Structure 1
Amino acid sequence: MNDIVDSAGAASPDRSSEETEAEHVRILAVKAAARFHGVDLDTETLTLDPKDPAPSSPHLVEWLRESGLWVRGIMLNFRQLMKVETTAPVVLLLRDGGAALMVSNDRDRSIIFVRDPRAPLGSAPIAVDEIQLRQVWDGAVLLIRGERDGQDVEPPFNFSLLWRMVLIEKRILRDVAISSITLTILQVLPILMIMVVLNTVIIYKSINTLILVTLIFIVCILWEALLTWGRRMMLVILSTRIDARLNLMIFDRLMTLPIDFFEKNQAGDLSYKVGQIYRVRDFITGRLLSTFIDMFMVALILPILFYLDAFLAWTILIAAGIIAVIITAFLPAIAHLTGKIIAAESLKGAVLVESIYGIRTVKALALEKVRADEWDARVAETSRLNMQMGKLSNWPVVLSLPFERYAQGGVLLLGGYIAVTSQNPLALGGLVGFMLLGGRVAGPLVSFARLIQDAQEARAAIAIVGHVLNRPTERRALNTGLRPQFRGSVAFENVTFSYEGTKTPALNKVSFAVPEGTMLGIVGRSGSGKSTVTRLLQGINREYTGAVKIDNTELREINLRHLRRSFGVVLQDNFLFRGSVRDNIIAGRPGLSFEDAIRAARLAGAEEFIERLPQGYETFIQEGSPNLSGGQKQRLAIARALIADPRLLILDEATSALDPESEALINANLLRIASNRTMVIISHRLASLVECDQILVMDSGQVVDLGKHGELVERCAIYRHLWLQQNRHMNPEGARNAPTPTLAQGD
């Protein structure tokens, strides 16, 4: 057994020593299981923590999911393992960091058959019983399945989805229900004891009965306290788990939404809308759950009330029904106003986030008063609507109050009248008990009636959150498609693309080809389609006609996550995350070493300034990176793009906002950066593109020319005009007299 599963064992002679040394046995096991489902995993996409002695289950699960496989990392005992279907290999994660593949089991003999992932293909598995397996295995397994039809289809975010999240915790719900029923009985018993004291102990002066009732009362109190503590803990666990699932689901969906969705929606608006999920969570784990728990008490107490006095019991139910009618009558108006409040709060949040995000511009242009006026207007609008909501929601409370007070105490007056006038009056103990029990029933019944209003508000919140989370995602493109090893050739074949809501195409029948290893510059006036070319290359926009090919493979057939991980992109305004300089450089590949970060920084020309920072690579970058200059941030962004050694690197106006010194430093490293990779550089500054192998000239969404710098100066009017404009100091007379070319003059 140990020879088969020991992660430190010798390599199989049928496998190369290079492969065994390069890949951990757990990685080999996962790759073998994935290969069974027709998926060849790329180890370059695996993120590992250098501190972990072996690949952890969460990292392996993430790797498999990103590769389009269904996977669950769970803990099983041997008996549960025997019940697992073995139509596909099951990965057993061993205690010492190793792994084994369970290929079958024999339930009659209580044994499983395992195989070493390093063993040659076709080798016979070894039979292992429970005692042998327990010596090396703690229960961790990976269950892997192939890609299923509809796997990429997102279930709509609605109440049904949230309720299924709650029902996952069936055991906790069962225990809460049992404890609630028991607590209800314990809460009713003291009232029944009061009835006994009033009807028996006081009238007959029975001390023995009083002692017995007292002992039972004390036991009930202690038991109730213990059960209350247990139920509260279970509710805390339930709420925490649901909250965690909601947070994970929300962030996962947000990260799979396409970029253009975020470009069309304000960050503050999105933040507020998504934040409404916590209102829904509070409704489900708070009011909804507590009301249903209280209904256990109603179900137990109502028969007792009808037993004591049916007439009084009916009056309590009628009072609760009237309260429900009153609340229901106000629901449409409340729902309409709730929608207005959510919309107003969303706009207010957008103003706040926008003002904070653009605080430098606000300060630079002295816009504090302008932004404050807009904020005041939003606050005034939300305050007005909240005031309306307060006035409106006050009416059902006021109108319901008399009926609620009757159910809680007024029944005593009616019961007293019946006791005085009836020939068969209710005993004193029975009357007091009825009042106390009726109060216990009235609260849950009123809460149940008000639950309708809360449900309406939760429904509105679900609709608001669904407006964001139910948008089409990129999940199918992220989880499916080809994962080729890129060389770097790029070809556009008759590509036409228009942005949503525009009539003029951003690209109009664009065709060009770039061999691998080429440094391609793209120039043109604003709006010519330069950045659109790079957006299509990154798979940001995929609704084009024609073909965009990478190494002769249509881009839409390539796995989107694989495509983006294989490319490097540097934008004009790059975002650096809070954390150290090293963390930002290896952000795309957290498992890489410190030496890899140094190598990328050196190639990007960033090593020189990093070493001058107070703590070097461990210098902490604050939010917005105020402790770095524009040139330093840009060089860090280039290092971050280079850390994975991409076969295609895109620089989209990466130097346009830099000072001359920073731009010169980056341009000086371009040839080194471009070595053994394809580079696409967009720049308004033609001087930075002179060394490019090819320069693509665009205008009005069309390709005007493609060639080297010298060739374009001679034959392309648009390029020559741009060149003379930017170099007028070298030929002032020619630049002044040069006519502005049109597209027709471009060739």
Structure 2
Amino acid sequence: MAAARYHGIELDIRDFAEEPGESSPSPATLARWLNDQGAVAKGMHIRWRFLVRMHNSPPIVLMFTDGSAGLMVAADAERGIVWLRDPMGNDADAPVAVDEARLKSVWNGDILLVKRSRDQSEADAPVNATWLAKMVLRERSLMRDILISSMVLSVLAIFPPLIVMQVLDRVVNYHSMATLISVSALVVVLSLYEMLLSYARRELTLVMTTRIDTRISIHSFNRLLALPLEYFEREQAGRILGRVMAIYKVRDFMTGRLLSTFLDMFTLLVILPVLFYLSPAMAWMTVAAAGMIGLVIMIFMPAVARTISRQIEAEMDRGSVMYESVAGIRTLKTLALEPTRRKEWDDKTAEVVRWRLATGRMSNWPTTMVMPFDFFINRGILLVGAYLVLTGSANMGSGALMGFMMLGGRVASPLVSLAKLLEDFNEVRSSLGEAGMVLNQPTETKALTTGMRPRIQGALTFDRVNFSYPGASNKALNDVTFELPAGTMLGIVGRSGSGKSTITRLLQGVSRNYTGYLRLDGVDLREINLTHLRRSFGVVLQDNFLFRGTIRDNITAGRPGLTIDDVVRAARLAGAEEFIERMPAGYNTFIEEGSTNISGGQRQRLAIARAVISDPKLMILDEATSALDPESEALVNANLQRLGKGRTMVIVSHRLSSLVDCDLILVMEQGKVADIAPHDVLLERCAIYRTLWLQQNRHQTRTSKSGGPAPMIAEGD
């Protein structure tokens, strides 16, 4: 962290997650974390004689054998001394001079180099062909080895036809046993060598494609997680997933046909000279037929690409129906919507089938048209060669003719693969464009990795804050101004659409394109690191999502280092301890997908426990009790006073009875602040609040005015 701070990069140790099985973080693990945080880092092993010469370098992290680290800030090669500083100490502390003997007693040679990224990093670069090319070029060393092995295998591919030539011309014609033995020995040696080299190339190719696959998957998922919440709210989830999954078609193309065609081209470059040596006339015929195959495929390529693009679009629409049906299966079942969804699925499937059939028919034309040229290369060239031999136009024997046939059959395959590669490129370009429509959206990466990390106390200030949702004609917040001291419990009320939830969205950093000033402890919210901000808050929503796993896992989500004592304390604060202890497995009770094995009130209390386990100084409860039954709501409300001790709480609720004990209640009306005061004051001076209160409590008012009728009615029953 000290080395990163030297380059102006602020880090939060809570963002770091150790690799499983590591007692202390390795340089590689730290380098990956730093690279994810916007720095450029590299772990390496170095000897003392090289370390001591790095006197003009920025601070270097030395990894010690006991799991700690030191910061090398200077070096003197002539004196054989380096100067170290404690990375956790004060910057004003003087560094300590250490020689080789003392350092080697605690240091095994591992260092971590850190610098600030000046260029656009791979993680932030647009997802396009250039981005993918950089992904592949990072495996240059493996590609070099594969290239060398492919060249050798291409040369070896010439020998089988040449051996056939020798067998037919020398062994069979002359009945030479000695030649047969020599040729057999050569075949065995070459076959063994080719077998080992092919195995090595397949292994290298497998490692390279696996690395590329892993890198693409990790970057795609990280980019997806970096997208702002607003994007997911306005886009259909099924289409987002469909477009992101299109990146895997690109992956299959790069690690499949592209790589195989690239390797086959080396074979072609080696075989062609041999063919021209054996028979220039037949070689030109073979090349011309293969070229015609490629030409036909290229002519049909644009039309095929258009139908493929329509097919991909139709498949994404069908995938969206599938996703929505599974995600909303509870609503679908309770409202008996199966026939409606089934009809929509049938319609989308029919559309997919129509375009898939059109694509197949369009692809069938070039496949049929190239068959005569393919037949000529594999069969006709033999007849032409036999004619040339019989007429004496070609100076070659039966062995040479057979060898030419064996080699000529391998010419068309790379050229056809190259033409089909261009055809696939259009599909890949469409898939890449679909994935880019999601992955190239503006991300929160900069806000998540940069900015201030102040100690949060909870004082809030809204100063003429204005905000409008994209495409909306009216402002969601209009000159909102109020101030909230730290430790205050604030309730927010108002009619639907008055801007209550918008205030909480701005506080969470979901939307940052507002005008005016929103300050937290005197610091503008947009200057605070977004990850630090959200981890400093405890947020409980109306419908909280619990992950598939145990109760303990859900409470400690995002805080895996916390102990069971922390979990119990959070559960007790949230009023969840009593029902957890009644469960058979207690805190290890497994929560099913969709939280079907616990009640809504229990789920809400677990969400509150998850929010308070990190002891946040500011908590946001956005309609956290609106979906609860009266008993569960009363239990949660009873805990609010206990939860609110020592922290600022912002509670949005349409049930005013749950906000009576708040220090202040903010009344919103059409995006503006109508009033802010305690409950009793608002009842006297705020007409909007008084109207809302009377609407929700009219049964109590009616009872207090009539006095006797209520008991008499009860007696009559």
TM range (shorter): over 0.9
Task: Give the aligned partner of residue 418 of structure 1.
Answer: 388
Pair 735,317 (structure 1): closer, same or farther in 2 beyond 3 Å: farther
Pair 111,638 (structure 1): closer, same or farther in 2 beyond 3 Å: same
Structure 1 Cα separation of the partners of residues 49 and 321 of structure 2:
58
For residue 566 of structure 1, the aligned residue among 526, 536, 546 is 536
Pair 475,215 (structure 1): closer, same or farther in 2 beyond 3 Å: same
Structure 2 Cα separation of the partners of residues 363 and 53 of structure 1:
49
Task: Give the aligned partner of residue 502 of structure 1.
Answer: 472
Task: Give the aligned partner of residue 348 of structure 2.
Answer: 378
For residue 133 of structure 2, the aligned residue among 155, 158, 163 is 163
SS of aligned partner of 1:101: strand
Gaps of 5+ in 1: 1-30, 737-747
One-letter amino acid of the structure 2 residue matched with residue 432 of structure 1: M
- Whether 1:674 and 2:644 are equivalent positions in the alignment is yes
Which aligned pairs between 1:42-57 and structure 2 lie closer than 5 A? 42-43=12-13, 53-55=23-25
- Greater CA deviation, 316-325 or 389-398? 316-325
Contact 1:725 1:735 survives alignment (8 Å): no
Task: Give the aligned partner of residue 128 of structure 1.
Answer: 100
Pair 206,110 (structure 1): closer, same or farther in 2 beyond 3 Å: farther
One-letter amino acid of the structure 1 residue matched with residue 95 of structure 2: S
Structure 1 Cα separation of the partners of residues 397 and 82 of structure 2:
71
Which aligned pairs between 1:611-630 and structure 2 lie closer than 5 A? 611-630=581-600
Note the C-alpha offset of 1:408.
Answer: 2.5
Note the C-alpha offset of 1:220.
Answer: 0.9
Task: Give the aligned partner of residue 103 of structure 1.
Answer: 73
Structure 1 Cα separation of the partners of residues 574 and 48 of structure 2:
53
Note the C-alpha offset of 1:119.
Answer: 7.5
For residue 681 of structure 2, the aligned residue among 703, 711, 720 is 711
One-letter amino acid of the structure 1 residue matched with residue 255 of structure 2: T
- Greater CA deviation, 73-82 or 163-172? 73-82
Structure 1 Cα separation of the partners of residues 497 and 686 of structure 2:
19
One-letter amino acid of the structure 2 residue matched with residue 561 of structure 1: T
Contact 1:518 1:677 survives alignment (8 Å): yes
Note the C-alpha offset of 1:561.
Answer: 1.2
Which aligned pairs between 1:152-191 and structure 2 lie closer than 5 A? 154-191=124-161
Structure 2 Cα separation of the partners of residues 118 and 63 of structure 1:
19
For residue 426 of structure 2, the aligned residue among 456, 463, 480 is 456
Task: Give the aligned partner of residue 10 of structure 1.
Answer: none
Normalising by structure 2, we get a TM-score of 0.93
Pair 720,472 (structure 1): closer, same or farther in 2 beyond 3 Å: same
One-letter amino acid of the structure 1 residue matched with residue 150 of structure 2: S
For residue 272 of structure 1, the aligned residue among 224, 242, 246 is 242
For residue 455 of structure 2, the aligned residue among 485, 489, 506 is 485
Which aligned pairs between 1:638-657 and structure 2 lie closer than 5 A? 638-657=608-627
SS of aligned partner of 2:222: helix
Note the C-alpha offset of 1:113.
Answer: 5.5
Which aligned pairs between 1:240-259 and structure 2 lie closer than 5 A? 240-259=210-229
- Greater CA deviation, 556-565 or 424-433? 424-433
One-letter amino acid of the structure 2 residue matched with residue 668 of structure 1: A
Note the C-alpha offset of 1:202.
Answer: 2.3
Note the C-alpha offset of 1:691.
Answer: 0.4
Structure 2 Cα separation of the partners of residues 67 and 672 of structure 1:
37
Note the C-alpha offset of 1:117.
Answer: 4.5
Contact 2:27 2:44 survives alignment (8 Å): no
Note the C-alpha offset of 1:397.
Answer: 0.8
Task: Give the aligned partner of residue 465 of structure 1.
Answer: 435
- Whether 1:316 and 2:286 are equivalent positions in the alignment is yes
For residue 610 of structure 1, the aligned residue among 580, 593, 597 is 580
One-letter amino acid of the structure 2 residue matched with residue 505 of structure 1: K
Pair 86,636 (structure 1): closer, same or farther in 2 beyond 3 Å: farther
Note the C-alpha offset of 1:207.
Answer: 2.0
Note the C-alpha offset of 1:426.
Answer: 2.1
For residue 7 of structure 2, the aligned residue among 31, 37, 53 is 37
SS of aligned partner of 1:501: coil
1:650-706 residue CA offsets vs partner (Å, 9 max, x unmatched)? 000000000111111110010111111111000010000000111011111111111
One-letter amino acid of the structure 2 residue matched with residue 126 of structure 1: V
SS of aligned partner of 1:91: strand
Gaps of 5+ in 2: 707-717
Task: Give the aligned partner of residue 304 of structure 1.
Answer: 274
Pair 625,73 (structure 1): closer, same or farther in 2 beyond 3 Å: farther
- Whether 1:577 and 2:547 are equivalent positions in the alignment is yes
RMSD of aligned residue pairs (Cα, Å): 2.5
One-letter amino acid of the structure 1 residue matched with residue 618 of structure 2: L
Task: Give the aligned partner of residue 16 of structure 1.
Answer: none
- Whether 1:364 and 2:339 are equivalent positions in the alignment is no
Contact 1:695 1:707 survives alignment (8 Å): yes
Note the C-alpha offset of 1:611.
Answer: 1.0
Structure 2 Cα separation of the partners of residues 41 and 455 of structure 1:
41
Task: Give the aligned partner of residue 569 of structure 2.
Answer: 599
Note the C-alpha offset of 1:622.
Answer: 1.7
Pair 55,205 (structure 1): closer, same or farther in 2 beyond 3 Å: closer
SS of aligned partner of 2:452: coil
Contact 1:724 1:734 survives alignment (8 Å): no
Structure 2 Cα separation of the partners of residues 152 and 171 of structure 1:
19
Structure 1 Cα separation of the partners of residues 462 and 418 of structure 2:
63
Task: Give the aligned partner of residue 369 of structure 2.
Answer: 399
Structure 2 Cα separation of the partners of residues 194 and 105 of structure 1:
68
1:33-72 residue CA offsets vs partner (Å, 9 max, x unmatched)? 2343345655555556898644565775576567654434
Structure 2 Cα separation of the partners of residues 153 and 173 of structure 1:
23
Task: Give the aligned partner of residue 714 of structure 2.
Answer: none
Pair 546,62 (structure 1): closer, same or farther in 2 beyond 3 Å: farther
Structure 2 Cα separation of the partners of residues 556 and 259 of structure 1:
16
Percentage of pairs with the same residue: 52
One-letter amino acid of the structure 1 residue matched with residue 244 of structure 2: V
Structure 2 Cα separation of the partners of residues 554 and 157 of structure 1:
33
- Whether 1:637 and 2:607 are equivalent positions in the alignment is yes
SS of aligned partner of 1:695: strand
Structure 2 Cα separation of the partners of residues 572 and 171 of structure 1:
53
Structure 1 Cα separation of the partners of residues 104 and 178 of structure 2:
60
Note the C-alpha offset of 1:221.
Answer: 1.0
Structure 2 Cα separation of the partners of residues 272 and 453 of structure 1:
22
Structure 2 Cα separation of the partners of residues 421 and 735 of structure 1:
123
Contact 2:11 2:449 survives alignment (8 Å): no
Task: Give the aligned partner of residue 409 of structure 1.
Answer: 379
Which aligned pairs between 1:484-563 and structure 2 lie closer than 5 A? 484-563=454-533
Structure 1 Cα separation of the partners of residues 148 and 476 of structure 2:
64
Contact 1:260 1:540 survives alignment (8 Å): yes
Pair 617,79 (structure 1): closer, same or farther in 2 beyond 3 Å: farther
1:499-556 residue CA offsets vs partner (Å, 9 max, x unmatched)? 1111111111211111111100000111111001111111111111111111121111
Task: Give the aligned partner of residue 256 of structure 2.
Answer: 286
Task: Give the aligned partner of residue 194 of structure 2.
Answer: 224
Structure 1 Cα separation of the partners of residues 367 and 221 of structure 2:
38
One-letter amino acid of the structure 2 residue matched with residue 403 of structure 1: F
Pair 85,349 (structure 1): closer, same or farther in 2 beyond 3 Å: farther
For residue 431 of structure 1, the aligned residue among 386, 390, 401 is 401
Which aligned pairs between 1:76-87 and structure 2 lie closer than 5 A? 87=57
Structure 2 Cα separation of the partners of residues 417 and 570 of structure 1:
86
Note the C-alpha offset of 1:436.
Answer: 0.6
Which aligned pairs between 1:184-203 and structure 2 lie closer than 5 A? 184-203=154-173
For residue 212 of structure 1, the aligned residue among 171, 182, 193 is 182
Note the C-alpha offset of 1:627.
Answer: 1.1
Structure 1 Cα separation of the partners of residues 619 and 693 of structure 2:
25
Pair 186,39 (structure 1): closer, same or farther in 2 beyond 3 Å: closer
Structure 1 Cα separation of the partners of residues 498 and 238 of structure 2:
31
